[in-house]
Amino acid sequence: MVDFAKLYRKMLKVYPASFRQEYEGAMTRQFRDEQRHAQGRKEHLGLWLHALSDLAVSAPRELVRELGQDSRFALRVYRRRPVSAFIAIGTLALAVGASTGVFSVTSALLLRKLPFGNASRLVELRFPPFSAGNGRAGFAEWRNHSSYLESATTFSTSEMNLNSGRDSLRVRVTETSANLFSLLEVQAHLGRTFVPEEDRTGQNHVIVISHRLWQQAYGGNPSVIGSVAHLDGAALTIIGVAPSRFDYPGNVDVWAPTVFDFEVIPKHGAFIWQTIGRLRPGITMRQARQDFKADVARVNPKGLRPESSSVPQLVGLRDQLSSQIRTSVLILFSVVLLVLLTALANVAQLLLSRTAERHQEFTLRSALGASRSRIIQQLTVEATTLTLSGTTLGMIVALLVARVAGAIMPAQLATQEYTLLDWHVLCFAVALTLITGFAFGIMPTWLMGRVQPSTKVVRMHSGTSEAATGRLRQALVSLQVAFTLTLLVSSFSLGSAFLRLVHIDLGFKPANAVTLKISLEGTRYQTEGAKWQYYSAVKERLQSMPGVKAVGAVNYLPLSNSVLMAGSIQVESGPKVPGVVLNGSMPGYFRAVGSELIAGRDFGFDLGKSPEPPVIVNEAFARESGFGRNILGRKIISPWTPRPYLVAGVVTTARMAGPEYEGGPQAYWPVEEEPPSALTFVASVSGDPQHYLTQFRDAVVGLDRSVPVYEVKTLDQSLDETMERPRFYTTSVLFLAGLALVIAVAGVYSTSSRAIIQREHELGVRIALGASIQQIRTLILRQGTVPVAFGILAGVVGAAGCGLFLQHLFLGISVSGVTAFVVPSLFLLLIAVGTAWSATTRILSIDPIEVIRAEH
């Protein structure tokens, strides 16, 4: 027969330790008594039901009461040693916060569902066999007969001037095939989206605007539907407003079904077509990739050659959206996890030493009748208080991290915004808290395993338990040192790569330069003469302002993220130079931007009259042509113009995309010859360029209000923006390495000083027997250095592995060469040895007489 009383006794385990210790016996006995008195099945059943309901009500109440007492006691314990508690909580908060913050980015980009219907079936097709370039019929034919795609849409995004009737704005416009919204399964917030035929010429004079634009430019007025807006001068009817959370393909304000039509909104310069599709139901990604490759091979067999820079690829839409920052975020996440582990090792250290120090207290309490579970409960509560305060504070840090990350590496879509209020992130934070709490909660249990009431109360530092904790502490130090070294090596490499970037010669001088953009699309300046007249007027106006030293203008300004057009240029009686970026400039540009003319001269107005128009090439071009400076006076032929140009000057090579990327060959032709519809003006000024921004804008707007003037900023600002990510990665890794270093030093210090406390008696005897203090310090030091040395060895291996990934953060990072490893290793070793040595000053306080006397 089942012993119900025994079963009942087992159930009592849900009560807190102290209560259980006190009343377990009485309660079980009472249950037995009641069982005896109960008659019949019904009464027995009633007894059980009553017991269970009683348990359900009273156990939580007792638990809360007792844990409350325990945590108040824990707070008193920590208040006695506030510094080490502060360090443990602080490092835990920083580490947990940083990892949760970075995880919120990871989650937003890689885990969160996209705000589109059936988003898992959406893919991007890179270099597909058909795109907008094949025309509407060709594209429709391809997509309708695809074996793996249910549907596909093609689009390109560019900046345009929007005239809403009142203001002139610069907006991002996505020109697309009519099915973009239906493919993404998105409904209009107001009005409607495009119908299938609306991307036909003649029917495509319609646009859908973003919720943001609707609010900002139209004040959220519903009567906007049906009204006309001008995009680069083209009159288009607004038929719908997109939902507020919709901004695909990112930061877009207007969608127009004009991707196949080159006339409605005139297209200029370079643009990139993107193609996305929805896979047929049941088709796996793998299968889709194979079908896609077969598709490409059928249409364009050369397209699949691996050496081509434009390899066709089919990727999930979420991966495509996050591709820019995906690797960086994963790297940062791993770095942060390393710091987290280091911090956890530190908290473990603290709890270990605390438990060891209070060995006497526990032995005494145990002898006075406290049950083992009572002591374990107390220790667990102490550990949980610590980790819980750390992780709670950590959430504030996480909030900051998410905010900083959002500013520096924003997600492409508004719905991918980094937030902690995301169930993945919340789960992560809760799991982290639970894991740390649990790990540190059971550790004391494991340590207390050997405490028995019968152990001698007087001799505390007895035997095996101490030796075991000693070994554990050394292992923890090795671990901390290894992680720290990995981080130090990484930050050393990142830091030196970053410094190289800062000091690199850009080929121009951003200091003291102010830039502003002007677009004449859709304005009254449409003829070449009118454009040139307007540009000349702007230049004159700026030049006449006090403090302005030089003014010029250019098609593509360095650091401005433009899509550049490149082609091959034939040097007369010389080679063909491939990949030359064609740029146009106004006289004075090179002086204004601080590029040096190393041969020849800048455009003058008279030069335009010569039979061959002049062109200025950069050093990279001169070098690749094989002529060097002797290119001066030679003729070159571009693929876009039939006439040859005469090389009139050679200018330094500008790093167009910022310090990370070397500048390629470029040729500047005088914009006067064929004024483009947009130009960027540059002026070099004396004094702080910030002071000129408003003045410049006002001066140019004053010329003609209908022309939008935008991106008025200093060139230094643009450089800062380009450097933002390298700077962010460098500072964050440096900061994390610093944090790890502090944590590891604390670990080394406490292990060494702990070792001395443990062996106080032995050391006292040694001193009494004539060993000098120096000898003993060296002995302790040697033992303290062993785990550090192991850690450094492991760290070197770890760092070498890490280096392979770091290179993805930004260009120019190399974790190789002796310095990258030796400098951080030596640094860490010196600090560790110094710390261990300073911990040994404790030996000086050992009085051998006292020690020996205590023996008797």
Partner 1 sequence: MASSIKGIDELLPLSLPLFHMLLSLTEGERHGYALKREILQRTDKRINLGSGALYGAINKMLEQGLIVESDERPDPHLDDERRRYYRITPLGRRVVRAEVVRLRALVRMAEVRIGVPDPV
Identify the three-state secondary structure at position 22: helix
Task: Pick between residue 65 and residue 200 the one whose CB is nearest to partner 1.
Answer: 65
Residue 724 interacts with partner 1 (CB under 8 A): yes or no: no
Residue 50 interacts with partner 1 (CB under 8 A): yes or no: yes
- Closest CB 50 distance from partner 1, rounded Å: 6
Residue 59 interacts with partner 1 (CB under 8 A): yes or no: yes
Binding map of partner 1 across residues 357-376, x = CB under 8 A, - = no contact? --------------------
- Closest CB 38 distance from partner 1, rounded Å: 13
Task: Pick between residue 50 and residue 471 the one whose CB is nearest to partner 1.
Answer: 50
Q: Which of 7, 13, 25, 578 binds partner 1 (CB under 8 A)?
A: 25
- Closest CB 380 distance from partner 1, rounded Å: 21
Cβ neighbourhood burial of 686 (10 Å; 0-12, 13-18, 19+): exposed
Other beta carbons within 10 Å of 169 = 18
Q: What angle do CA 544, 550, 555 make, to 5 degrees?
A: 110
How many Å apart are CA 513 and CA 365, to the nearest integer? 75
Stretch that binds partner 1, among 15-23, 204-212, 562-570, 822-830 (CB under 8 A): 15-23
Residue 23 interacts with partner 1 (CB under 8 A): yes or no: yes
Stretch that binds partner 1, among 52-60, 505-513, 583-591, 844-852 (CB under 8 A): 52-60
- Closest CB 11 distance from partner 1, rounded Å: 10
Q: Which of 43, 54, 361, 674 binds partner 1 (CB under 8 A)?
A: 54
Residue 29 interacts with partner 1 (CB under 8 A): yes or no: yes
Stretch that binds partner 1, among 16-24, 448-456, 527-535, 752-760 (CB under 8 A): 16-24
How many Å apart are CA 680 and CA 713, to the nearest integer? 11
Q: Which of 1, 26, 368, 769 binds partner 1 (CB under 8 A)?
A: 26
How far is Cα of residue 613 from the mean position of the Cα atoms in its chain?
Answer: 48
753 phi and psi, to 5 degrees? -70, -30
- Closest CB 65 distance from partner 1, rounded Å: 8
Structure tokens at 47: 């007894």
How many binding residues for partner 1 (CB under 8 A)? 21
- Sequence-separated contacts (24+) of 738-741 with Cβ below 8 Å: 738/491, 739/91, 739/94, 739/95, 739/339, 739/343, 740/338, 740/339, 740/342, 740/480, 740/483, 740/484, 740/487, 740/488, 741/484, 741/487, 741/488, 741/828, 741/831
- Closest CB 40 distance from partner 1, rounded Å: 16
Cβ neighbourhood burial of 424 (10 Å; 0-12, 13-18, 19+): middle
Q: Within 61-90, which residues bind partner 1 (CB under 8 A)?
A: 61-62
CB 693 within 8 A of CB 513: no
Binding map of partner 1 across residues 599-618, x = CB under 8 A, - = no contact? --------------------
**Residue at 508: amino acid letter:** F
Q: Which of 27, 98, 186, 820 binds partner 1 (CB under 8 A)?
A: 27
Residue 9 interacts with partner 1 (CB under 8 A): yes or no: no
Task: Pick between residue 14 and residue 330 the one whose CB is nearest to partner 1.
Answer: 14
Identify the three-state secondary structure at position 653: coil
Which of left, alpha, beta for 154 (phi over 0: left; psi -120 to 50: alpha)? beta
Q: Which of 9, 17, 31, 316 binds partner 1 (CB under 8 A)?
A: 31
Residue 268 interacts with partner 1 (CB under 8 A): yes or no: no
Residue 680 pairs in a beta bridge with: 517, 554
Q: Which of 10, 13, 53, 290 binds partner 1 (CB under 8 A)?
A: 53
Residue 57 interacts with partner 1 (CB under 8 A): yes or no: yes
Residue 697 pairs in a beta bridge with: none
Stretch that binds partner 1, among 50-58, 236-244, 450-458, 573-581 (CB under 8 A): 50-58
How many Å apart are CA 362 and CA 388, to the nearest integer? 24
How many Å apart are CA 210 and CA 627, to the nearest integer? 52
Residue 1 interacts with partner 1 (CB under 8 A): yes or no: no
The H-or-E segment that residue 234 falls in is strand 234-241
How many Å apart are CA 533 and CA 529, to the nearest integer? 6
- Closest CB 727 distance from partner 1, rounded Å: 59
Which of left, alpha, beta for 576 (phi over 0: left; psi -120 to 50: alpha)? beta
- Closest CB 373 distance from partner 1, rounded Å: 17
Residue 10 interacts with partner 1 (CB under 8 A): yes or no: no
Stretch that binds partner 1, among 28-36, 239-247, 428-436, 464-472 (CB under 8 A): 28-36
Stretch that binds partner 1, among 24-32, 342-350, 621-629, 794-802 (CB under 8 A): 24-32
Task: Pick between residue 50 and residue 808 the one whose CB is nearest to partner 1.
Answer: 50
Stretch that binds partner 1, among 46-54, 403-411, 480-488, 585-593 (CB under 8 A): 46-54
Residue 43 interacts with partner 1 (CB under 8 A): yes or no: no
Stretch that binds partner 1, among 18-26, 408-416, 519-527, 847-855 (CB under 8 A): 18-26
How many Å apart are CA 80 and CA 593, to the nearest integer? 63
Residue 33 interacts with partner 1 (CB under 8 A): yes or no: yes
Q: Which of 21, 30, 35, 731 binds partner 1 (CB under 8 A)?
A: 30
- Closest CB 407 distance from partner 1, rounded Å: 53
The closest of 20, 50, 25 to 38, measured between CA atoms, is 50
- Closest CB 58 distance from partner 1, rounded Å: 3
Q: How many CA atoms lie within 13 A of 675 on its CB side?
A: 24
Task: Pick between residue 29 and residue 459 the one whose CB is nearest to partner 1.
Answer: 29
- Closest CB 21 distance from partner 1, rounded Å: 11
635-637 and 566-571: which strand pairing?
antiparallel
Task: Pick between residue 14 and residue 110 the one whose CB is nearest to partner 1.
Answer: 14
Q: Which of 6, 10, 58, 853 binds partner 1 (CB under 8 A)?
A: 58
Question: DSSP letter at 770?
Answer: T
How many Å apart are CA 134 and CA 142, to the nearest integer? 10
Residue 498 interacts with partner 1 (CB under 8 A): yes or no: no
Identify the three-state secondary structure at position 237: strand
How many Å apart are CA 664 and CA 566, to the nearest integer? 10
Question: DSSP letter at 107?
Answer: I
Residue 222 interacts with partner 1 (CB under 8 A): yes or no: no
The closest of 394, 357, 399 to 379, measured between CA atoms, is 357
Stretch that binds partner 1, among 25-33, 300-308, 588-596, 826-834 (CB under 8 A): 25-33
Residue 544 interacts with partner 1 (CB under 8 A): yes or no: no
Task: Pick between residue 58 and residue 215 the one whose CB is nearest to partner 1.
Answer: 58
CB 408 within 8 A of CB 725: yes
CB 242 within 8 A of CB 413: no
- Closest CB 474 distance from partner 1, rounded Å: 42
Question: DSSP letter at 204?
Answer: -
Identify the three-state secondary structure at position 75: helix
Task: Pick between residue 29 and residue 245 the one whose CB is nearest to partner 1.
Answer: 29
Residue 729 interacts with partner 1 (CB under 8 A): yes or no: no
Q: What angle do CA 428, 429, 432 make, to 5 degrees?
A: 85
Residue 17 interacts with partner 1 (CB under 8 A): yes or no: no
- Closest CB 26 distance from partner 1, rounded Å: 5
644-651 and 614-618: which strand pairing?
parallel
Task: Pick between residue 15 and residue 218 the one whose CB is nearest to partner 1.
Answer: 15
CB 5 within 8 A of CB 34: no
Taking CA atoms, 451 is separated from 295, 371, 464, 584, in Å, by 72, 11, 11, 83
What are the residues binding partner 1 (CB under 8 A)?
15, 19, 22-23, 25-27, 29-31, 33, 50-51, 53-55, 57-59, 61-62
